[in-house]
A = this chain, B = another copy of it.
Amino acid sequence: MKQGHMHVTEDCRAVGELLGRIADKWSILVVQRLGTGPMRFNELRHGVGGISQKMLTTTLRSLERDGFVTRTQFPTIPPRVDYELTDLGRELLGPVNTLGEWARKNLLRIDTARAAFDAKCGRACDEDERKYPSEEP
C-alpha cells in the first residue's frame, strides 16, 4: 500500500511532534548558545537575551527531558548549576547552527520581502483606513 507515500504522511506527525519541541525560538537559541560550552543559568539567560527566567527554566527542562542537555548542580553556597550539551545535543547543534546561520545571513532579504508585501497589502486593503492617521489609538 504505497509505502513511499505512507512514509511521508505518517511520520509527518512524529516529526511534527518533535519539531514542535525543538524547533521553537528559545530552544534553538539556547542550544546554539550552549554550543560554546557549559554555562550557568544566568550566564545563559543574559547570553540569549530577552528570555524570561520562567521560559529559560521551562526550555531547559524540556531540553533536559529530551536528552539534549545535562543539568549539573553543585552543592555550594551560593548554588551553582551548569548546563551542558549531551552527545545528542551536540549532534543537534549541527542542524541548528545551519538554520541559525542561514537566518542571520538572510535577515535582510526577508525584511525586504516583508516590507514589499506590507506595502502592497497596505495599499490594497487599508484603502478605507486612509482617513485614519497611521498611529495606534
Q: Which A positions have Cβ atoms within 8 angstroms of B?
A: 8-9, 11-16, 18-20, 22-26, 28-29, 46-50, 64-67, 88, 91-92, 94-96, 98-100, 102-104, 106-107, 109-110, 112-114, 116-118
Contact = CB atoms under 8 A, between A and B. Distances in A.
Given A66-B113, A106-B91, A110-B67, A20 B25 contact: yes
Count of identical protomers in the assembly: 2
A49 B48 CA distance: 33
A121 B15 CA distance: 25
A24 B21 CA distance: 9
Nearest to A86: B113
Contacts of A96: 99
Contact of A110 (B23, B88, B104): B88
B9 A100 contact: no
A30 B56 CA distance: 28
Given A25-B23, A28-B23, A109 B95 contact: no
11 contacts: A9-B49, A15-B100, A15-B107, A19-B25, A24-B24, A64-B117, A66-B113, A67-B110, A88-B106, A88-B113, A94-B102
Nearest to A10: B49
A16 B116 CA distance: 22
Ranked nearest first, the 3 interchain pairs of A and B with the lowest CB-CB distance are A67-B113, A95-B99, A20-B25
